[in-house]
């Protein structure tokens, strides 16, 4: 049972990243970050490359020490505790199995190093193999270089579980698997995490994976936390323009507009705003998600269909219209929508996010709908 708290963590690397040869000149990889990860929770971390996701995992694990701030486990200050004494299990994208040891040897390594009894080792390996499923026994007898990517990753996960960690830290653990295997592995991992109720931090660049794995999702940018919440909270109540644009695929369309006495104008078209949207007069920007465009509206703007993409249950139409300041608009249409060269679209104002004309502030967001 472990909760993790980061308090005002600053982590500044003193050299350029030797892998990417980049680094924010003078800007810390983690810039005064505070967050609490609840006991038993899985927190997914997403954000653009280089925003500090991996650094946050390393600071939690003790593989990197912060310049300032504290790492608290269960209310106790662990900032100075060595990684091997933190009870942390890590799974990385490159598996990092011990190449000269069979599956079983990879699992038993921990018990040998920590001088645990043979009986404990055997019992834990047996228990873990049972948890990992029927065919896992076979992998125990094989050398890593004879295993497929998915099999290697299962051994890596089992090697983590066998240690009975208090915390799981996973950094893009299934990014190297092919799509089908990724799907299967993430379901297995989720099942295991549910079973164990181990506090988990899961880094991924894949939004779908973040939603699937995480009880909550944290969005980071340039060493800072932008927002933490469920996917719906991030999607319907983004705290700023960055989160609104980062979350959701196809992405939200941003369009300049003008508010005047309860009505709103885009280009030469004007609509009444619903009562729930209460804005001061002046310039704004609106954010319309693909499903928040209403099709065939009398008061819509006529736009030209540029490209149509088949989604599993709908079609995404990429249309272009006389929209000052916005390039492509993405709208979702039902599968049976007739083929057309032009469509008439209007925003569903109740589903629209309103932003300040400049900067990133949100003036009004639709709020999380009350769905199933």
Site for ligand ADP in 52-111 (CB under 6 A): 52-55
Are the CB atoms for 242 and 360 separated by under 8 Å? yes
Radius of gyration of the chain (CA): 25
Q: Which stretch binds ligand ADP (CB under 6 A): 16-24, 98-106, 237-245, 259-267?
A: 16-24
Query: Among residues 192 and 218, whose Cβ is nearest to ligand ADP?
Result: 218
Q: Which stretch binds ligand ADP (CB under 6 A): 50-58, 145-153, 245-253, 302-310?
A: 50-58
What residues form DSSP beta bridges with 286?
255, 354
Chain-centroid distance of CA 163 in Å reads 26
Site string for ligand ADP, 304-343 (x = CB under 6 A): ----------------------------------------
Q: Is 250 in the site for ligand ADP (CB under 6 A)?
A: no
In the complex, the smallest distance separating the C-beta of residue 57 from ligand ADP, rounded to whole angstroms, is 8
Q: Supply 159's token pair.
A: 């090697």
Are the CB atoms for 88 and 167 separated by under 8 Å? yes
Are the CB atoms for 223 and 51 separated by under 8 Å? yes
Q: Is 346 in the site for ligand ADP (CB under 6 A)?
A: no
User: Is the backbone peptide bond immediately before 314 cis, with ω within 30 degrees of 0?
Assistant: no
Binder to ligand ADP among 4, 6, 29, 169 (CB under 6 A)? 29
Binder to ligand ADP among 2, 3, 13, 318 (CB under 6 A)? 13
Task: Name residue, tokens 């272009």.
Answer: 320
Q: Is 150 in the site for ligand ADP (CB under 6 A)?
A: no
Binder to ligand ADP among 2, 40, 50, 83 (CB under 6 A)? 50
Query: Among residues 49 and 313, whose Cβ is nearest to ligand ADP?
Result: 49
- Round to whole Å and give the CA distance between 334 and 332: 7
Fill in the DSSP letter of residue 252. P
Enclosing H/E stretch for 258: strand 253-260
Q: Would you tell me which residues interact with ligand ADP (CB under 6 A)? A: 13, 15-17, 20, 22-24, 29, 47, 49-55
């Amino acid at each position: 049972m472990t909760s993790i708290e980061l308090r005002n963590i600053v982590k500044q690397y003193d050299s350029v990243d030797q892998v990417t040869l980049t680094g924010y000149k003078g800007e810390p990889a983690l810039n005064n970050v505070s967050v609490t990860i609840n006991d038993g929770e899985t927190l997914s971390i997403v954000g653009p490359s280089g925003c500090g996701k991996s650094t946050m995992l390393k600071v939690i694990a003790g593989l990197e020490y912060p310049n300032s701030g504290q790492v608290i486990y269960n209310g106790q200050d662990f900032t100075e505790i060595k990684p091997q004494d933190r009870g942390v299990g890590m799974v990385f994208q490159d598996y990092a199995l011990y190449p000269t040891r069979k599956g079983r040897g990879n699992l038993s390594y921990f018990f040998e190093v920590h001088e645990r009894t043979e009986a404990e080792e055997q019992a834990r390996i047996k228990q873990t193999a049972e948890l990992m499923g029927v065919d896992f026994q076979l992998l125990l007898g094989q050398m890593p270089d004879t295993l497929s990517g998915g099999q290697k990753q299962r051994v890596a996960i089992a090697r983590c579980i066998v240690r009975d960690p208090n915390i799981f830290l996973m950094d893009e653990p299934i990014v190297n698997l092919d799509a089908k295997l990724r799907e299967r592995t993430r379901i297995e991992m989720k099942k295991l995490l549910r079973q164990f109720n181990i506090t988990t931090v899961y880094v991924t660049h894949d939004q779908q994976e973040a939603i699937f794995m995480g009880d909550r999702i944290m969005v980071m940018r340039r060493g800072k936390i932008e927002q933490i919440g469920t996917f719906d909270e991030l999607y319907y109540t983004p705290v700023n323009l960055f989160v609104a644009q980062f979350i959701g695929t196809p992405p939200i369309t941003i369009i300049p507009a003008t508010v005047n006495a309860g009505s709103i104008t885009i280009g030469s078209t004007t609509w009444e705003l619903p009562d729930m949207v209460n804005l001061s007069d002046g310039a704004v920007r609106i954010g319309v998600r693909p499903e928040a465009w209403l099709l065939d509206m009398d008061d819509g703007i006529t736009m030209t269909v540029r490209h149509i993409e088949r989604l599993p249950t709908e079609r995404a139409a990429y249309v272009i219209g006389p929209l000052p300041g916005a390039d492509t608009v993405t709208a979702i249409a039902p599968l049976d929508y007739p083929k057309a060269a032009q469509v008439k679209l209007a925003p569903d104002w109740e589903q629209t996010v309103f932003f300040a004309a400049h900067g990133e502030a949100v003036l009004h967001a639709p709020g999380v709908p009350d769905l199933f």
